[in-house]
Amino acid sequence: MRLSRVALAVAAGALAPALLLSTPSFATTPIPSAAAAAADTGSPYDEMDADDLRIAIARTLADPDSGRRVIQEANELLDDATVDEMRAWLKTGYRLAQAEDDAVAIARTLADPDSGRRVIQEANELLDNRNPEEMRAWLESGYRLAQAEDDRVAIARLLGDPDSGKAVIREANEALDDGSPEAVRAFLETGLRLARAEDDSVTIARMLADPGISDALRAAANAALDDGSPEALRHFIEVGQYEAGA
């Protein structure tokens, strides 16, 4: 009996872990791919009936990280496919569809203006070679490491910038001392903004302590401090103080 889509979704969630398929995500821990499973002596798909094969395919649809090509082919198979077609896709077709989705994900890193030199270099090499296993491994772990290398370079540049304040230098050194990909990324995504705001507050306070400050500049400086947001403080440092002093 052909299972309904609802029944497939329920069954897919309960399927044994041994049937897990890898998906095009940025997870740090690799999971066995369909290709690897098929490479074992006696693929598990050889013994599955039609309903079990549909459940295995439905798992790819239940995974939010599945890419467009995988989703398209999985839906087509569930709509109208023979047992042999489903089995062949799980053994080899899934790997190729996933590789296509992985290539798209890698290409997106090249289109990201924040991607650093190491990420761009490795992404280009992967797209040149188009090896499914290498692309999958890079998305699962290599991208994280390449990005961490670029993040460390970006932080080192901040330390070499004479305009970096004490808080930025302090937090940057702490991120580098920690050294983990998560620590350096967190600093660049959130910590830098907050540390810079701390330095900007100090700079503005020093301006206000100057007895020769103009009324217009004092008003603009106080307005920035009253707002208190990192964006308002930075805008005053970069733009507002010059407008007030004009």
* Domain edges within the chain: 1-159, 163-246
Q: Tens digit of pLDDT for each residue in 118-151?
A: 999 999 999 999 999 999 999 999 999 999 999 9
- d(C-alpha 139, C-alpha 191), whole Å: 25
- Of 162 and 40, more confident: 162
Share of the chain above pLDDT 90, in %: 76
Q: What confidence score (pLDDT) does residue 244 get?
A: 85
Longest Cα separation, the chain: 87
* H-helix segments, the chain: 5-14, 34-39, 50-62, 68-79, 83-88, 94-111, 117-129, 132-137, 143-159, 166-178, 181-186, 192-208, 215-227, 230-235, 241-245
Q: Report yes or no: 99 and 135 within 8 Å, Cβ to Cβ.
A: yes
pLDDT at 187 (0 to 100): 98
**CB-based contacts of 40: which residues, under 8 Å, 6+ apart?**
none
pLDDT tens track for 10-27: 444 444 333 333 333 333
* pLDDT for 33 beyond 70: no
Residue 116 and residue 122: Cα distance in Å, rounded? 10
Q: How far, CA to CA in Å, does 86 sit from each of 40, 59, 91? A: 18, 13, 9
Decide: 52 and 16 in contact? Cβ < 8 Å: no
- Tokens 């029944």 correspond to 7
Query: What is the chain's mean pLDDT, rounded?
Result: 86
* Angle 75-109-194 from CA coordinates, rounded to 5°: 120
Task: Classify residue 44 by its DSSP letter.
Answer: G
Instruction: Output 20 or 74, whichever has higher pLDDT.
Output: 74
Kindly tell me if the per-residue pLDDT of 30 is higher than 80: no
Give pLDDT tens digits for 84-107: 999 999 999 999 999 999 999 999
- Give residue 246's pLDDT: 60
In order, the DSSP letters of 184-235 are HHHIIIIIHHHHHHHHHHHHHHHHHT-TT--HHHHHHHHHHHHH--HHHHHH
- Rounded Cα–Cα distance for residues 192 and 12 (Å): 43
